[in-house]
Amino acid sequence: MIKKTLTLIVAVVIAIWFLSPVVLIVISSLTPSAEYYDPSRILPRSLTLDHLRSLFVTLGGWRATLNSIQVAGMSIGISFLFGLPAAYALTRFVFRGKNSIRLGILLTRSFPVLIIGIPLLILYMRIGISDTLLGVALAHTSMVLPFVVLISSSIIGGISVEYEEAGMIFGLSRFASFMRITMPLVLPGLAASAIFAFIMSWNEVFVAAILTVGSRTLPAHILNAAMTAPDYFKFAAGTIMAVPAMIFIFFTRKYLMSLWGISLK
């Protein structure tokens, strides 16, 4: 009994520690400015959507959100297009140097991606794609692509090659066999990793802020506007950054746990 109560107390304290900043910023973003600056009111009496609305409409938040979605979409597309063949070869072929290639790709995950921003800006100016969403998407791809290769290879590796071989015996090409037999089985896992890749790009701020001036992604826009904006706009910005990411994670939580190697049984 005592142990049960103690466990419950600890669990509640942990939950409050991790949840409260999220809840508090959502409340702050809905607090009317007069109540926010009133020191006697800890929690607001009324809520307003004004800050979120003006952030989206007049302060360019909507435009930046669309930019972020396009950038993430492009980098996921390129990552899977380039990454899936590599993931396939890593699981389906045995060849010399395979472990070195895998280790090499793993090592790029420890590459400090933010340093590519400055050289890429100079390169983009030379080839005429500076301040474009494509430029940011390509930079984000260098962060997302190694992740996609490694995760996809472990997902594809979970499906026995024998089904594909059976397909090939019955006359399917290697590609058709993969697409028609393995692909439907791995699609949910790949979708979950695509969502995680989306969040990697959605959250990246340094490179995006260096590479863009006009066509800023949401975090880059916030980074530049937040320093001078009134507090309640900062909270609105923090909220619109956080909520979509949390919704995505919520819907894919079971897949993500298995991606991280955590069993829920």
Partner 1 sequence: MTYRKGVTPYLYFIPVIAFLIMFLGYPLIETFRLAFTHPAEPLGNFLRVTRTGELWNALRYTLIISAIVVPAQLALALALALFINMRFKGYLILLYIVSIPLALSDVSAALMSYSIFSPSGYINKILMNLGMASSPIYFFGRGFETRAFWVIVITEIWRATPLVFVIILAGLQSVNKEYLEAADVFGFSRWTKLWKIILPILKPAMLSALLIRTLFAFQIFGVAWLLTGRDIPILAGEAYYWQSIRYNSNVAASYGLVIAMVSIIISWIYLVVLRSREVEGARA
Q: Site residues for partner 1, window 35-94 (CB under 8 A)?
A: 36-37, 39-42, 78, 81-83, 85-86, 88-89, 92-94
Report the length, in residues, of the chain. 265
Residue of the chain from 61, 76, 124, 146 that contacts partner 1 (CB under 8 A)? 146
Nearest distance from C-beta of residue 254 to partner 1, angstroms:
10
CB of 102 to partner 1, least distance (A): 10
CA distances from 179 to 75, 89, 170 (A): 22, 14, 15
The residue assigned the tokens 């490694």 is 150
Question: Please, what is the minimum distance in Å from the beta carbon of residue 181 to partner 1?
Answer: 15
The amino acid sitting at 51 is H
Which residue from 9, 10, 179, 191 is in contact with partner 1, where contact means CB under 8 A?
10
Q: Is 155 in the site for partner 1 (CB under 8 A)?
A: no
Cα 163 to the center of its chain, rounded Å: 32
Stretch that binds partner 1, among 49-57, 115-123, 126-134, 183-191 (CB under 8 A): 115-123
Q: Does 199 bind partner 1 (CB under 8 A)?
A: yes
Q: What is the largest CA-CA distance in the chain?
A: 76
Distance between CA atoms of 238 and 240, rounded to whole angstroms? 6
Whole-number minimum distance, CB 262 to partner 1, in Å?
5
Distances (CA, A) of 255 to 84, 90, 186, 187: 19, 22, 12, 12
The DSSP H or E segment spanning 38 is none
The interface with partner 1 within residues 159-178 (CB under 8 A) comprises 161
Count of CA atoms in the C-beta half-sphere (13 A) of 4:
1
- Block residue for tokens 């692909």: 183
> Of the listed pieces 54-62, 126-134, 183-191, 219-227, which binds partner 1 according to CB under 8 A?
219-227
241 binds partner 1 (CB under 8 A): yes
Identified binder of partner 1 from the candidate list 9, 118, 179, 187, rule CB under 8 A:
118
Number of C-beta neighbours around residue 85 at 10 A: 14
Interface size with partner 1, residues (CB under 8 A): 93
